[in-house]
């Protein structure tokens, strides 16, 4: 009774010292503490070996069968404990903390009790003192050692200490010899002392494990924060990288799809309505993407107005379905502060493993597909295909080399005549740029003009072309004009009109001899700069031609609102697939209107005499095409003009 109450008090003191919840450790800390019981099972083996052999020696020396039985019981328990200690892994999730603890408890308590009883019994029956000393010292040594070793689980440590030592103390008091009573008292004093020591060890252990746990939790929270986008709450770039690796590691052979979503013209939302509204739109888009994405998907914001969905898909059909849902969902108008707001997105999709087995390659593929979606007119989904890589490589090369091509003299201007269909005389030469690449050979303008437009090189290139063309045209007879193609980007660039004026001045060319060919795409965006450019140059006499008519919107509205002097009917109406009764009727209608408005109508792409006949009959007054001449270098253009004048003069003389 006395022993029990002392233990209880001691327990409560330890508890008080460690705060009210000190015996309540978190499950994680408890697991670590229980794991410590299973650490170094070799120390268990040494203890067991020492104890069992001591009992065996005692039994042999005393020649008492009961002690043999005790030694055997100790050996059996020790063996069972060692099997459990070596066999049960605390790392395995199948072994719950409670199970590990219980199994350890049963083994530890039964061994301690068996040893305690053996030692106590030896005092009663051993014929010689040194046998008593052997067993009592063993029991006490075991109790002390184990209460330090198992301090991580205080109840086990104290239980083992009590079970291994108390029987001896009780027997000492029961026998009642003064020396034994003294021993009994010593043991009873030893127990609280050891409990206090174990308690201290336990506190230090638990506190340091709890501190480690706290910092581990903190680190985990920081990690989560570092992987989250603050605006949308989605994964950010780091989070996406992490999730991609994680998902792939869990299902290495499963097919995945990566959707790279870019909001079209989101910059305008930010610029016009402000960043707070922009952020709300981003949040709205994020929520919709989260809703439509499969449950297991990672949805991330990849900077600015770009999002990524990465998920397992059964096949390309499922990926296509997700792609169309992305469009449907992003296009649904947002209501922000009572305002209706519409957003559109371009989507690039790459499939794993077909388009990239590792994350980097997959991202590159999706990025390329996205680029094609944007170039192809936005608000659409493009799936990656391998030709995109080839295109890109060539484009990159062209992009790099184009910048130096002008300085290296690799570019030149060729001229294609535009001929009067009545007289056969050259009225105009259209300037067409040519690139003679030292390795790639002759490059088509269709291949490098778009790259020049994308990279902005078109401004420098365009100014150079205009200047060259004007310089050469200045040498031609006064009634021959020159036509230069202008790309929309070049026209919208600041100082565009000034560039043309400078070219004219430096070449000394009359502005009325310059014609600028523009396409309908220029007018898709209602742009003030475009109108200013046309107005400013028209004022000084520069003329404008509407190029490739019939390939775009073919709206007659532009013809009405801008001062065009010429319409060029696209060659697809002359020699392409559109040729037939319909195209004939269209050419007729355009020619009739042109005639009424005093405009020239040019038929492009004339290759045969029959085609010349058809367009002339339809009312076109000018023609251009291989039938008359291909585009030729400037000296050949001059020769064509000289020949024409000569034969004209001969005709006159004749």
**Closer by beta carbon to ligand C2E, 333 or else 576:** 576
Could you tell me if 165 and 156 are in contact, meaning their C-beta atoms sit under 8 angstroms apart? no
**Closer by beta carbon to ligand C2E, 140 or else 482:** 482
Chosen from ligand C2E, Ca ion, none, partner binding at 416 (C-beta under 5 to 8 Å by type): ligand C2E
* 475 backbone dihedrals φ, ψ, rounded to 5°: -85, -10
Find the part of the chain contacting ligand C2E (CB under 6 A) among 45-53, 97-105, 262-270, 483-491.
483-491
Query: Does residue 517 belong to the site contacting Ca ion (CB under 5 A)?
Result: yes
H/E element holding 543? strand 543-549
Could you tell me if 495 and 463 are in contact, meaning their C-beta atoms sit under 8 angstroms apart? no
Q: Which residue is nearest to ligand C2E (CB)?
A: 625
Short-list 603, 484, 616, CA closest to 549: 603
Residue 515 and residue 482: Cα distance in Å, rounded? Answer: 6
Residue 309 and residue 260: Cα distance in Å, rounded? Answer: 7
CA 91 to chain centre: 34
**Closer by beta carbon to ligand C2E, 312 or else 410:** 410
Q: Which residues 6+ apart lie within 8 Å of 553 measured at CB?
A: 520, 524
The SS3 assignment for 482 reads strand
**Closer by beta carbon to Ca ion, 81 or else 543:** 543
Q: Which residues 6+ apart lie within 8 Å of 597 measured at CB?
A: 559
- Nearest distance from C-beta of residue 421 to Ca ion, angstroms: 17
Q: Secondary structure of 378-409 in the HEC alphabet?
A: CCCEEECCCHHHHHHHHHHHHHHHHHHHCCCC
Chosen from ligand C2E, Ca ion, none, partner binding at 432 (C-beta under 5 to 8 Å by type): ligand C2E
Query: Does residue 547 belong to the site contacting ligand C2E (CB under 6 A)?
Result: yes
Q: Which residue is nearest to Ca ion (CB)?
A: 517
- Nearest distance from C-beta of residue 448 to ligand C2E, angstroms: 9
Find the part of the chain contacting ligand C2E (CB under 6 A) among 128-136, 445-453, 474-482, 584-592.
445-453
- Nearest distance from C-beta of residue 626 to ligand C2E, angstroms: 4
Beta bridge partners of 415: 431, 632
Q: By CB under 6 A, name the one of 159, 534, 625, 634 that touches ligand C2E.
A: 625
- Nearest distance from C-beta of residue 570 to Ca ion, angstroms: 6
Kindly state the tokens that stand for 402: 């184009």
**Closer by beta carbon to ligand C2E, 301 or else 571:** 571
Q: How many CB atoms lie within 10 A of CB 32?
A: 20
- Nearest distance from C-beta of residue 568 to Ca ion, angstroms: 5
Residue 504 and residue 118: Cα distance in Å, rounded? Answer: 118
Residue 27 and residue 230: Cα distance in Å, rounded? Answer: 32
Could you tell me if 140 and 187 are in contact, meaning their C-beta atoms sit under 8 angstroms apart? yes
- Nearest distance from C-beta of residue 256 to ligand C2E, angstroms: 41
Could you tell me if 347 and 261 are in contact, meaning their C-beta atoms sit under 8 angstroms apart? yes
CA distances from 251 to 66, 221, 555, 644 (A): 62, 26, 54, 75
Chosen from Ca ion, ligand C2E, none, partner binding at 77 (C-beta under 5 to 8 Å by type): none
Query: Does residue 626 belong to the site contacting ligand C2E (CB under 6 A)?
Result: yes
Q: By CB under 5 A, name the one of 229, 547, 600, 634 that touches Ca ion.
A: 547
Find the part of the chain contacting ligand C2E (CB under 6 A) among 199-207, 241-249, 419-427, 439-447.
439-447
**Closer by beta carbon to ligand C2E, 337 or else 446:** 446
Find the part of the chain contacting Ca ion (CB under 5 A) among 209-217, 285-293, 403-411, 509-517.
509-517
Find the part of the chain contacting Ca ion (CB under 5 A) among 26-34, 436-444, 515-523, 581-589.
515-523
Q: How many CB atoms lie within 10 A of CB 76?
A: 14
**Closer by beta carbon to ligand C2E, 25 or else 636:** 636
Chosen from ligand C2E, Ca ion, none, partner binding at 611 (C-beta under 5 to 8 Å by type): none
Residue 558 and residue 579: Cα distance in Å, rounded? Answer: 25
CA distances from 24 to 27, 212, 583 (A): 9, 17, 89
Query: Does residue 465 belong to the site contacting ligand C2E (CB under 6 A)?
Result: yes
Q: Which residues 6+ apart lie within 8 Å of 647 measured at CB?
A: none
Short-list 277, 271, 405, CA closest to 334: 277
Q: How many residues bind ligand C2E (CB under 6 A)?
A: 24
Query: Does residue 548 belong to the site contacting Ca ion (CB under 5 A)?
Result: yes
Q: By CB under 6 A, name the one of 333, 445, 456, 648 that touches ligand C2E.
A: 445
**Closer by beta carbon to ligand C2E, 109 or else 464:** 464
H/E element holding 648? helix 634-653
Binding mask 467-486 for Ca ion (x = CB under 5 A): ------------------x-
Query: Does residue 416 belong to the site contacting ligand C2E (CB under 6 A)?
Result: yes
- Nearest distance from C-beta of residue 314 to ligand C2E, angstroms: 44
Could you tell me if 618 and 594 are in contact, meaning their C-beta atoms sit under 8 angstroms apart? no
Query: Does residue 444 belong to the site contacting ligand C2E (CB under 6 A)?
Result: yes
**Closer by beta carbon to ligand C2E, 209 or else 419:** 419
Query: Does residue 607 belong to the site contacting ligand C2E (CB under 6 A)?
Result: yes
Query: Does residue 548 belong to the site contacting ligand C2E (CB under 6 A)?
Result: yes
Beta bridge partners of 518: 546
Binding mask 360-399 for ligand C2E (x = CB under 6 A): ----------------------------------------
Chosen from Ca ion, ligand C2E, none, partner binding at 100 (C-beta under 5 to 8 Å by type): none
Binding mask 259-278 for ligand C2E (x = CB under 6 A): --------------------
What residues between 176 and 215 interact with Ca ion by CB under 5 A? none
Residue 244 and residue 296: Cα distance in Å, rounded? Answer: 12
Query: Does residue 487 belong to the site contacting ligand C2E (CB under 6 A)?
Result: yes
Could you tell me if 435 and 399 are in contact, meaning their C-beta atoms sit under 8 angstroms apart? no
Strand stretches in 193-344, DSSP E:
256-263, 298-301, 306-312, 334-336, 339-341
Q: By CB under 6 A, name the one of 85, 165, 286, 433 that touches ligand C2E.
A: 433
CA 534 to chain centre: 44
Q: By CB under 6 A, name the one of 485, 530, 583, 621 that touches ligand C2E.
A: 485
Give the single-character DSSP code of 417.
E
Residue 50 and residue 68: Cα distance in Å, rounded? Answer: 15
Query: Which residues in this chain contact Ca ion in the complex, by CB under 5 A?
Result: 485, 517, 547-548
Query: Which residues in this chain contact ligand C2E in the complex, by CB under 6 A?
Result: 416, 431-433, 444-446, 449, 462, 465, 485-487, 517, 547-548, 571, 605-607, 624-626, 631
């Amino acid at each position: 009774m006395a022993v029990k109450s002392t233990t209880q008090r001691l327990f409560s003191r330890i508890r008080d010292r460690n705060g009210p919840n000190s015996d309540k450790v978190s499950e994680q800390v408890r697991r670590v503490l229980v794991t410590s019981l299973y650490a170094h099972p070799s120390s268990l083996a040494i203890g067991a070996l020492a104890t069992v052999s001591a009992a065996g020696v005692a039994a042999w020396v005393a020649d008492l069968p009961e002690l043999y039985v005790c030694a055997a019981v100790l050996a059996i328990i020790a063996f069972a404990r060692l099997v459990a200690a070596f066999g049960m892994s605390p790392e395995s999730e199948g072994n719950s903390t409670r199970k590990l603890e219980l199994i350890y408890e049963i083994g530890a308590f039964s061994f301690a009790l068996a040893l305690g009883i053996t030692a106590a019994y030896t005092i009663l029956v051993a014929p010689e003192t040194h046998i008593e000393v052997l067993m009592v010292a063993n029991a006490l040594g075991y109790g002390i050692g184990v209460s330090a070793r198992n301090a991580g689980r205080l109840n086990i440590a104290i239980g083992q200490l009590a079970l291994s030592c108390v029987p001896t103390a009780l027997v000492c008091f029961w026998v009642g010899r003064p020396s034994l009573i003294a021993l009994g008292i010593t043991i009873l004093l030893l127990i609280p002392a050891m409990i206090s020591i174990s308690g201290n060890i336990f506190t230090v252990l638990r506190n340091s494990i709890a501190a480690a746990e706290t910092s581990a939790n903190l680190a985990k929270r920081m990690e989560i924060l570092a992987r989250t986008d603050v605006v949308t709450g989605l994964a950010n770039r780091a989070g996406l990288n992490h999730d991609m690796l994680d998902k792939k590691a869990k299902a290495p052979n499963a097919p995945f799809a990566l959707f790279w979503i870019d909001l079209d013209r989101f910059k305008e939302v930010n610029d016009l309505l402000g960043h707070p509204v922009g952020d709300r739109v981003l949040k709205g888009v994020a929520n919709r993407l989260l809703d439509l994405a499969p449950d297991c998907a990672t949805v991330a914001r990849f900077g600015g107005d770009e999002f990524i969905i990465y998920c397992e898909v059964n096949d390309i059909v499922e990926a296509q379905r997700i792609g169309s849902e992305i469009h449907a969902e992003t296009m649904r108008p947002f209501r922000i502060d009572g305002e209706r707001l519409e957003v559109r997105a371009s989507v690039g999709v790459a499939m794993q493993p077909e388009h990239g087995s590792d994350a980097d390659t997959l991202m590159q593929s999706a990025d390329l597909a996205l680029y094609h979606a944007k170039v192809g007119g936005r608000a659409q989904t493009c799936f990656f295909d391998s030709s995109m890589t080839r295109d890109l490589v060539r484009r990159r090369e062209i992009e790099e080399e184009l910048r130096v091509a002008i300085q290296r003299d690799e570019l030149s201007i060729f001229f294609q005549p535009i001929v009067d269909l009545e007289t056969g005389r050259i009225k105009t030469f259209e300037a067409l740029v040519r690139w003679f690449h030292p390795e790639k050979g002759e490059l088509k303008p269709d291949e490098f003009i778009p790259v020049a437009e994308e990279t902005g090189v078109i401004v420098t290139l365009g100014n150079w072309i205009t200047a060259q063309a004007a310089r050469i045209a200045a040498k031609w007879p006064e009634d021959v004009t020159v036509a230069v193609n202008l790309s929309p980007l070049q026209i919208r660039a600041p100082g565009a009109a000034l560039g043309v004026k400078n070219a004219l001045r430096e070449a000394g060319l009359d502005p009325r001899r310059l014609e600028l060919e523009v396409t309908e795409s220029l007018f898709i965006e209602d742009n003030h700069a475009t109108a200013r450019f046309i107005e400013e140059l028209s004022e000084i006499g520069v003329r404008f031609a509407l190029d490739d008519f019939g390939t775009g919107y073919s709206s007659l509205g532009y013809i009405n609102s801008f001062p065009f002097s010429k319409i060029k009917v696209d060659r697809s109406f002359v020699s392409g697939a559109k040729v037939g009764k319909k195209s004939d009727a269209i050419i007729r209608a355009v020619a009739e209107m042109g005639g009424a408005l005093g405009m020239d109508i040019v038929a492009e792409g004339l290759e045969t005499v029959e085609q010349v006949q058809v367009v002339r009959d339809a009312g076109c007054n000018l023609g251009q095409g291989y039938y008359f001449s291909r585009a030729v270098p400037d000296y050949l253009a001059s020769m064509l003009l000289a020949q024409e004048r000569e034969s004209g003069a001969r005709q006159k003389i004749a």
